Chain A
Amino acid sequence: MTLLRRTLLALGLPVLLVAVWWWASAGSTDFYRPALSTILAAFADTWTWDRVRADVLPSLARLAAGYLLALTGGVALGVLIGGNRHVRAFLEPLLEFLRAIPPPVLVPVFILLSGVGDRTKVLVIAFGCVWPILLNTVEGVRGRDEVLSDTCRTYRIGGGLRLWHLLLRSASPRIVTGARQALAIALIVMVISEMIAADNGLGFAVLQFQRGFQIPAMWSGVLLLGLIGVLLAWGFRWAERRMLGWYYGQRAGRREW
């Protein structure tokens, strides 16, 4: 497929939907459902640089901190659990329980334990999105090829080399899958935590607009969140292609045969 065709295909539906929205909402007098043109005008007025600094950047910083915490913690714990049968048997029931708790429920609990500051939000984001990373890492490490494991043993490849070249690289396709799911969850938990307890941030701003009947501004906040989600997904895909080049190459080769 040519690049042009791919771009047209990818952009076709969004462009169509926006066009339909624009046309259907044009001249709307409904207070809660303003015209798209009104929302876009509000977008430009609302998301000024001051606003970005006051609300968007703090949100993104908390998102990044919580996500990175989940990524490092989830992978580290996952390697530990996936690499050792006994650790796995010992920890699995506890993890099953913790995983079943819906993350928003923890916001009030974490507020009690560590206050209403950024730390609480970062922890809630990390706790909410760590599970797919952790579970996928465990499965990825467990599923490593036993011939590769034997190769490491006979050539006496241990320590850091084994950790990196056997455990982590074997698990990396699964880790990436988990990390992608976690990113979407992190964004959701970020917004929710800001709606429950915050004095700035995107979730807080959207809620404030709604309470203050600034309806076009509220819609523009929703739009902005959607855009951030899309940009993050694109960035993720770019990083994934770079890290898993060997994986896609190998799979493409298998299909050819």
Chain B
Amino acid sequence: MLEVDHLNKVYDSHGRRVEAIGDLTFTVPEGQFACVVGPSGCGKTTLLRTLAGLLPPTSGEVQVLRRRVTEPPAGLAVVFQEYGRSLFPWLRVRDNVELPLRAQRIAKARRRELADEALAAVGLAGTGSAYPWQLSGGMQQRVAIARAIAYQPRVLLMDEPFAAVDAQTRADLEDLIRSVWQRLGVTLLFVTHDIDEAVYLGQRVVILSAAPTRVADDLDIDLPADRDQLTTRADPRFTELRSRVYAQIQKVKADPPGKEG
């Protein structure tokens, strides 16, 4: 459960004032898979960091699991855009996955079990003893996802997680995320700038405007729950939805909301 209530965020550093988020309000109910799309620089990462408790809002507030966020909330995991840098290079893959569990004082046997399960779920069963820098970008991304899964979060935030991987890996990872979400029943907020990806993955797509950011549109994705790279993407309904999102984004770009004040 996520609530964003009149969120506003202004960066003010070194004499440069940037209104990254204008006025944002939306709610993601428990267990929903919501995608957020918007042009580059519209404040998607800022929104996510605010939800994760890494950044205080300038005004307004955000709630995670019905509690106002003032610090990183328990039960929330993040897969960062810079996933490669989010792995500890001095820890083997398995230890990377286990570290958050150690911080929670989970017993060693249980940690191993959770890490093994998570690594198997992302198709990395045999790589526990490798170092992250020995893996390809796509594999590193899967380690970051495995770490989030093993943590058993109730809320999962992902920031353009597939922006830097090749097309085939990307399709695999998309299906992986769908199945993880279905299995864990987490509330998932997935940030992307890729329209097709948003429509393919989510139950809902929230479209953000360019800065000063607000919600430009909010679409239900009424595609069947069982999705498949071939059939879903060929589905006329898919094409229709993606055209609507596309048109909406074009409108946002062509007709930026006027700056007040």
Contacts and interface: CB of A to CB of B under 8 A. Distances in A.
A172 B104 CA distance: 25
A156 B100 contact: yes
Nearest to B132: A250
A154 B103 contact: no
Given A147-B80, A154-B72, A156-B72, A161 B102 contact: yes
A155 B77 contact: yes
Interface residues of B, number: 27
B134 A253 contact: yes
Given A151-B86, A249-B134, A158 B103 contact: yes
A155 B88 contact: no
A53 interface: no
A249 B131 contact: yes
A250 B100 CA distance: 23
B134 A154 contact: no
B80 A151 contact: yes
A92 interface: no
Contacts of A161: 99, 102-103
B74 interface: yes
B151 interface: yes
Interface of A: 145, 147-148, 150-151, 153-158, 161, 165, 169, 172, 246-247, 249-250, 253-254
| 3 nearest CB pairs, A to B | A155-B100, A147-B85, A250-B133
28 contacts: A147-B82, A147-B85, A148-B86, A148-B88, A150-B49, A150-B54, A150-B86, A151-B78, A153-B54, A153-B72, A154-B54, A154-B72, A155-B103, A155-B151, A156-B74, A156-B100, A157-B99, A157-B103, A165-B88, A165-B91, A172-B90, A246-B90, A246-B131, A249-B134, A250-B131, A250-B133, A253-B133, A254-B133
